[in-house]
Each structure stands twice: as C-alpha cells, then as structure tokens.
C-alpha cells in the first residue's frame, strides 16, 4: 500500500461520519431491495411505513461481539438521521424482529440461519487477507456488499474524495512517498515501478526495495 509519509490518522469526526453513513447507506439499499422485483428468495413482508428497520449484526467483529457497531438513527433528513428510523444490534434474541443480517468478512462463519431476509456482507479488507472475498460460492449468498470498492453496493472508502482540480505536475511535487508491502502482486508492483519513474519513492518492503530499516513482519 502506498501512503504519504507523516499521514494523519482519521479524526474522530471522520470516523463518526463513516459510521453514520454506513448505517444510512445500508438502510437505503435495504429499502430498495425490499421493493425490487429482481430480489428473489426473500419471504419477509416489507416493513410498515412507521416501522423501525432492525439490522442484526450476525457475525462477530474481529473475533469479538459486534456491540461497538450497535446504534440508532432517528427518522428525519437532518445530520445523523435517516429517511426511516433504523437500528443496528448484535442481540440474536431479536432475530424475529430483524429486517436483514450483517456479516463481517473477517468473521465469515457461522452464516445466518435463514434467507428470509437479506444478507449484507461488510468489509474494508482486501482479498489477500480475506480469502472468502475470492470464493464465488460464498459471495453469491449475499444480497448486498459494503466495502471500500467503488463498485460495491455501498462503497465506503476510508479516504477523502479527490477534488477535480488539475493535479500538481510531478516535477513540482516536494513530498515523498513511502511504499511498504512485501506481497508483490503483479499489478500493484508494476504500478509502483512506473510511479518510481516520475517521483521519488522510498520502498521499504520486499517489492522493489530501495530502502532498509523496516521491521520484518
């Protein structure tokens, strides 16, 4: 992965924005799924107009109960609100009330017990470290995907969208770039090779290494 040296960690407001936007986005996708004629095998009756949408986080989250993902959004159009009232819970005792299951790709099993309601797969990891993302049989069981990929049902990239201003010419750039990866996947490695032709890159990983000192993993 290429990252700017001295890059700042995501601030708390950005984290909260991502969390709330995730709940809102999944809820809107869920609504469209309920009323779509192309969504087979869903037997649960769509929610009533005044009913709160309940999303059940079925899997664990990094090996722990997904309680940190629980939360509420009230009905409204203001900040921190949603077109319909919704809630995320990890309490499996509420399975009969749930409108959809959420599964985290790094904790892919056990799968939800039925397919009466939509299955939502969520992940911000890449397939190299999340093998189920490369398994078509597994992926085909889900109705919706939330990930960093821009072609997912609900894209959630953990970076600011670039502006549309013309880029600064490489010759005028002053900041260096650090590369720190040792899984020399062909496309990524070739991208790094081409990038090195135009701007200085300090590569500390095994791939095209030109700097030493990185602690071995």
Count Cβ atoms below 10 Å from residue 19 Cβ, excluding itself.
15
Average pLDDT in the chain: 77
Summarised one tens digit per residue, pLDDT across range 67-119 is 777 777 777 777 767 777 888 888 899 999 899 999 999 999 999 998 889 99
The confidence score (pLDDT) of residue 45 equals 44
- pLDDT > 90: what percent of the chain? 23
Looking at the DSSP assignment, which residues form a beta bridge with residue 122? 104, 146
Cross-strand partners of 201? 177
- Choose between 153 and 7: higher pLDDT: 153
List Cα–Cα distances, 63 to 45, 47, 94, 148, in angstroms. Answer: 32, 31, 21, 21
What is the token pair recorded at 92?
A: 């499996």
Structure tokens at 168: 């600064």
Tokens encoding 107: 């904790």
State the pLDDT at residue 49.
Answer: 56
**What pLDDT sits at residue 144?**
92
How does residue 196 score in pLDDT terms, banded at 50, 70 and 90?
very high
Residue 16 has pLDDT above 60, yes or no: no
Token digits of residue 25? 């986005």
Count Cβ neighbours within 10 Å for each residue of 139-165 and write b for 16 or more, e otherwise. eeebbbbbbeeeebbbebeeeeeeeee
pLDDT tier at 216, thresholds 50, 70, 90: low
Characterize the bridge pairing of strands 71-75 and 86-89.
Answer: antiparallel
Contact 16, 68 (CB under 8 A): no
Please state, in angstroms and rounded to a whole number, the distance separating the CA atoms of residues 109 and 58: 9
């Amino acid at each position: 992965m290429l990252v700017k040296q001295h890059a700042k960690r995501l601030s708390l407001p950005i984290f909260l924005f991502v969390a709330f936007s995730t709940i809102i986005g999944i809820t809107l996708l869920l609504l469209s799924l309920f009323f779509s004629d192309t969504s087979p095998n869903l037997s649960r009756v769509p929610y009533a107009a005044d009913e709160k949408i309940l999303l059940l986080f079925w899997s664990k989250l990094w090996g722990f109960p997904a309680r940190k993902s629980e939360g509420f959004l009230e009905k409204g159009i203001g900040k921190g609100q949603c077109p319909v009232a919704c809630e995320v819970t990890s309490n499996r005792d509420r399975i009969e009330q749930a409108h959809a299951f959420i599964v985290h790709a790094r904790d892919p099993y056990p799968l939800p017990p039925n397919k009466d309601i939509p299955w939502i797969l969520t992940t911000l990891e890449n397939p190299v470290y999340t093998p189920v993302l490369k398994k078509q049989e597994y992926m085909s069981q889900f109705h919706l995907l939330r990930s960093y990929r821009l072609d997912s049902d609900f894209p959630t990239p953990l970076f600011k969208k670039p502006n549309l201003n013309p880029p600064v010419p490489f010759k005028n750039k002053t900041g260096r770039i650090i590369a720190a990866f040792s899984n020399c996947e062909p496309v990524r490695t070739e991208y790094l090779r081409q990038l090195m032709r135009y701007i200085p890159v300090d590569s500390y990983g095994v791939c095209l290494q030109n700097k030493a000192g990185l602690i071995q993993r």
